[in-house]
Structure 1
Amino acid sequence: MTDKKGSAAPRLGFVPDCEYLGDWPAVEPGGDRSRAGLTSALVATVVFLTAIAPLATDMYVPAFPRVARDLSATATQVQLTLTTFFVGMALGQLIGGPVSDQRGRRRPLIAAVLVMALASVVCALGGTITIMMAARFVQGFAGGWAMVIGRAVIVDLATGAHLVKVLNVSAGVGGIAPVVGPLLGAVILQLSHWRVSFWVVAALGLAMTLAVLLAVPESLPPERRHSGGLRAFAVAGRQVLGQRRYVGYLLVSGSAMGALFAYVATSAFVLQSMNGLSPIAYSVDFAANAGGMTLAALVAARLAGRVATRKVILVGQVMALAAGVAMLIGAVWFRTPLLLAVVCFFVLMTAQGLVGPNGGALASAEVPDHPGTGSAVLGFVQWVAAGTIAPIAGLGGEHTAVPMALLMIGGAAGSMIGLLVLARPGARGQIGQRRLAP
């Protein structure tokens, strides 16, 4: 994208935790957009939008055994409701950003949160697992669409260091949701029915709509929109996927995400159905594991510039692999004792805090000419991996952890192959481009 004089607009570079950024954001020379419309209310609204995915998932996970019983569904069928949600979310993020570049931000964002609220109502009322799967797909698609446009609004209104600061603050505050979500879901289960969690998400969707109406302006006026859309995105996508080291780091992050969601999809059955934990106790453990992942990510951030990022990733991969092997031994020979499961889950989640963010950062560093496309493809692969793994983890039913343990091992091993083989130092892709040192 160029300005009216034809000069190229400066590129933004990689921004953590943002699924879509225009590869060539329009920046007016000498302008400070962050002062024009980036208010505290707007930032809070974007954080609100970012929290919907973990809330819509983590509030629901503690109820898996009850959902299976109430809807006469198998463990795999219940886990497919995660798959459809994650696939919808991946597609929503992949498509929503480019479309909003063409048509503006505000109206598509309002439509997305309303559709998400409506899909949540269908989830709350659905009487069959098939209806639940379909509604969860729509819920995920609309939620992903809303998330990516919300962050694009921030990109429209802020630049440089201020942009990075705001996005990191948003990500940090949004990290509370994975801790609060399961606890809130467990309280709902304790006091009421699992369907109430979807009514809560629907109410949050309406609250988000009101917040957008009051706090989010149209941040992309017609003169700054472009017609490239999905076609331009597809061309850039082919270019980034031609980079071998980028694909390697894509495998690092995608495989790690798959191992993580083998845990998310199956842990309720392992800890509740097999070991007798109550929904409250399970949710406390889930929240503690999310806290371990957050703490590891903060430690990794402190180590940046002091310890090679690839070494930090490798430590996390070894931890995840060890957790998977221990889980498999416990599942095959010792009937998955509670203490072993709790420790393995904590180690796996903590490892993800070392692998996921760093793998994503190095992936985007490999495609400096297409930071937005690189981040979008990365987010798509991660969420598709999460959705694909979820039902596979439940193939053994509610009373075995063997499939989950094998997926944990496979995810850790695949992640290591991405790091040590495809993304090894000196590996070259199809297109020679400047690369940033890890």
Structure 2
Amino acid sequence: MAHATLPTKSTSDTAPDGELAPTGLARLRLILVLGALIALGPLTIDMYLPALPAIADDLMTTSSAVQLTLTGTLLGLGLGQLIVGPLSDAVGRRLPLIAGTVLHIVSSVLCLVAPNVAVLGVFRLFQGVGAAAAMVVAMAVVRDLFSGRAAATVLSRLMLVMGVAPILAPTLGAAVLLRGSWRGVFAVLAALGVVLVLVAIFLLKETLPPHRRRTGALRPVLATYRSLVLDREFVVLALVAALGMSALFSYVSGSSFVLQDHYGLDQQEFGLVFGIGAIAIIAASQFNVVLLNRLTPARIVLHALSAAVGSGMVLVVLTATGTGGLVGFVVPLFVLLGAIGFVLPNAPALALSRHGEAAGTAAALLGATQFGLGAAIAPLVGVLGNNGPAMAITMTGGAAVGWLALAATLRRERRLELAPAV
């Protein structure tokens, strides 16, 4: 049953089923394992970014068409979570995780031999479906074991582990390109999938006992999704999380073309600048743990979105006028990315805390909303011209809509709290 108001803080150290949540070294080991699993998605998305111009040349297609292969990956990540989430609630976490990672391995190999951009896009979609299993299961495991502020804290720590992936991914992709073609990137992704299958088999215990599992029949699954969609606060929080993610994906989609084609960076320089942006997100997510001792997660998200909109407006002006060159582009961009770093752990934790009885399904809908909206919004950067202003407008617009939605919901909750009892 969902709470009547937006969840704010929890100081409990117990898991949702009343058992003691992992602490100390056990919690650290769990965070490292879950971080490695979650990292598969960002690695799949980001590792081939330096190769996008090379792929366009090699497959004799346009930059917009190549960007659609990224959209296919995001769609796969969203679709896969809708499937894996309810399945993991019915059969446990480990089996869907292992099966999905194997699908990722096979798809990576097929991407390696893709003869044209259309085939590459199809295999990237299946690659995304496979990576979704790792991401949704990791989120569900967090909800299995933690709730409230503890869940937000663990997700912030996961952001630190997961943040290494977008830092290393473009650099690793650029290193592969120095020694071979863009197809080698997918060989590396296949090898990483093999490693993660071994991690899932040997290092992750089942966190959903049989007595807490739900039926996998279609009608109850649809009923669960219906209850989630009808929960106004869950929908708003999922939308806020998705808009924060869409701003990030707009950056991911357009950064290689803006930084390499417009500002003249080579593949290695692009990887460095991209990595600094990821550091901004990581730093914010870790400072978020400190802020949770003073502010509610909802208040942190609202302030972060305000900062994102403000810095985004500065970015729009500077890129549109050409003021400041590369520095004028990256400084407000990194502030915007840092603000998103506060949104990404808190909004999902708030949404998941409302439906602990169906953590896998809730995590699936949340993830599908994030990646589905990201898949819809990210191509706008290409449509608007693949330049700095296009990326700035797309990122800022998403943050602004998220701020409006959350502010309206918080005002509504406040009015309900102040209303006299009937």
Matched, 1:129 2:123: no
| 8 A contact 2:85–2:362 mirrored in 1 | no
Task: Pick closer, same or farther for the CA change 1:67–1:94 going to 2, 3 Å.
Answer: same
Map of 1:58 onto structure 2: 46
Map of 2:284 onto structure 1: 296
Distance (whole Å) between structure 2 residues aligned to residue 74 and residue 45 of structure 1: 39
**Structure 2 unaligned regions, length at least 5:** 2-6, 418-422
How is 1:149-228 mapped onto 2 (pairs within 5 angstroms)? 149=137, 152=140, 172-216=160-204, 225-228=213-216
The partner residue of 2:55 within 58, 67, 70 is 67
Instruction: Quote how far apart the aligned CAs of 1:205 are.
Output: 1.4
**Structure 1 unaligned regions, length at least 5:** 2-12, 17-23, 433-438
Matched, 1:418 2:405: yes
Task: Pick closer, same or farther for the CA change 1:169–1:309 going to 2, 3 Å.
Answer: closer
How is 1:205-284 mapped onto 2 (pairs within 5 angstroms)? 205-216=193-204, 225-228=213-216, 230-284=218-272
| 8 A contact 1:327–1:341 mirrored in 2 | yes
Map of 2:136 onto structure 1: 148
Instruction: Quote how far apart the aligned CAs of 1:170 are.
Output: 5.0
Task: Pick closer, same or farther for the CA change 1:412–1:48 going to 2, 3 Å.
Answer: closer
- Helix, strand or coil at the partner of 1:352: helix
Equivalent AA in structure 1 for residue 413 of structure 2: G
Distance (whole Å) between structure 1 residues aligned to residue 75 and residue 64 of structure 2: 16
Distance (whole Å) between structure 2 residues aligned to residue 307 and residue 218 of structure 1: 33
Matched, 1:384 2:372: yes
Map of 1:362 onto structure 2: 350
Query: Residues 36-63 of structure 1, C-alpha deviation per residue, up to 9 Å, x if partnerless?
Result: xx89988755443222111111211122
Instruction: Quote how far apart the aligned CAs of 1:246 are.
Output: 3.1
The partner residue of 2:101 within 97, 113, 117 is 113
Matched, 1:312 2:287: no
Instruction: Quote how far apart the aligned CAs of 1:258 are.
Output: 1.6
Distance (whole Å) between structure 1 residues aligned to residue 245 and residue 204 of structure 2: 32
Map of 1:404 onto structure 2: 391
- Helix, strand or coil at the partner of 1:361: helix
Map of 2:4 onto structure 1: none
More helix by percentage: 2
Task: Pick closer, same or farther for the CA change 1:211–1:297 going to 2, 3 Å.
Answer: closer
Instruction: Quote how far apart the aligned CAs of 1:154 are.
Output: 7.2
Task: Pick closer, same or farther for the CA change 1:170–1:293 going to 2, 3 Å.
Answer: closer
Equivalent AA in structure 2 for residue 96 of structure 1: V
The partner residue of 1:326 within 293, 305, 314 is 314
Distance (whole Å) between structure 1 residues aligned to residue 89 and residue 357 of structure 2: 18
Map of 1:77 onto structure 2: 65
Query: Residues 163-183 of structure 1, C-alpha deviation per residue, up to 9 Å, x if partnerless?
Result: 958776555433322222222
Map of 1:5 onto structure 2: none
Distance (whole Å) between structure 2 residues aligned to residue 379 and residue 88 of structure 1: 11
Distance (whole Å) between structure 2 residues aligned to residue 14 and residue 92 of structure 1: 30
Task: Pick closer, same or farther for the CA change 1:167–1:276 going to 2, 3 Å.
Answer: closer
Distance (whole Å) between structure 1 residues aligned to residue 21 and residue 246 of structure 2: 38
Which TM-score applies when normalising by structure 2?
A: 0.82
Task: Pick closer, same or farther for the CA change 1:427–1:95 going to 2, 3 Å.
Answer: farther
Instruction: Quote how far apart the aligned CAs of 1:142 are.
Output: 1.1
- Give the alignment's Cα RMSD to 1 decimal: 3.6
Equivalent AA in structure 1 for residue 390 of structure 2: P
Map of 1:10 onto structure 2: none
Task: Pick closer, same or farther for the CA change 1:84–1:335 going to 2, 3 Å.
Answer: farther
Task: Pick closer, same or farther for the CA change 1:59–1:15 going to 2, 3 Å.
Answer: farther
Instruction: Quote how far apart the aligned CAs of 1:302 are.
Output: 0.5
Distance (whole Å) between structure 1 residues aligned to residue 8 and residue 79 of structure 2: 21
The percentage of counterpart residues that share the same residue type is 35
Instruction: Quote how far apart the aligned CAs of 1:260 are.
Output: 1.9
Instruction: Quote how far apart the aligned CAs of 1:358 are.
Output: 2.4
